[in-house]
Homo-oligomer: A and B are copies of this chain.
């Protein structure tokens, strides 16, 4: 099990590496990758050490190989299915955005309680009533949920998610959620991010 920060950085490296590949770059040095990611060459090498890949000495890392090795670590062979819960402004933006982005992570369903949204199709993904959550999650083997419901229903919905058999949640509501210990949860709070930026802008001024 890799450190969380390392997992994040590997995902980020991979995106840069894919970009490199498109530009026809076949090899990359640790210090080049570092420069692209606000960190140091040592950190990059250490991260890559974690996944047990070694480069051709003096030529840098083979871009294509490194992409594959990162894929072996991060991706599940058969891919994982994802659902978006709450098809409001944010849920719609995310659904539209993700379609076709990652071959190993497919958004294959959305859920809502608003009857005007149910059965609507966004970017090829159908919206189901939340009452059918468990049924669809089981039938379609969905293991990850992206939560974009209003704050006041967040905690109730999260219980339903866990009951339905979801194993990972990416929570965008501003409510910290309690889930069973075998469910992995990542929370992102936009207001917190913005307040953090504001704090550092403020303190830099003085």
Chain A interfacial positions (CB closer than 8 Å to B): 1-2, 4, 7-8, 11-12, 15-16, 36-38, 73-76, 80, 82, 88-90, 92-94, 96-98, 101-102, 104-105, 143-144, 146, 167-170, 174, 176, 182, 184-186, 188-205
Contacts and interface: CB of A to CB of B under 8 A. Distances in A.
Contacts of A192: 8, 11-12
Contacts of A11: 189, 191-192, 195-196
B38 A102 contact: no
25 contacts: A7-B196, A8-B193, A11-B189, A11-B195, A12-B176, A16-B176, A37-B176, A74-B198, A74-B199, A75-B202, A88-B93, A89-B93, A97-B190, A102-B194, A105-B198, A143-B201, A144-B194, A144-B198, A146-B194, A167-B201, A170-B194, A184-B200, A184-B204, A186-B193, A188-B188
A195 B89 contact: no
Nearest to A107: B194
Nearest to A101: B191
A37 to B, nearest CB: 5
Given A15-B191, A92-B89, A192-B12, A197 B176 contact: no
Interface SS, A side: helix
Given A37-B176, A176-B12, A176-B36, A170 B193 contact: yes
Indicate how many identical chains form the complex.
2
A204 B167 contact: yes
Nearest to A196: B7
A69 to B, nearest CB: 14
A174 B80 contact: no
Contact of A176 (B38, B105, B202): B38
B202 A76 contact: yes
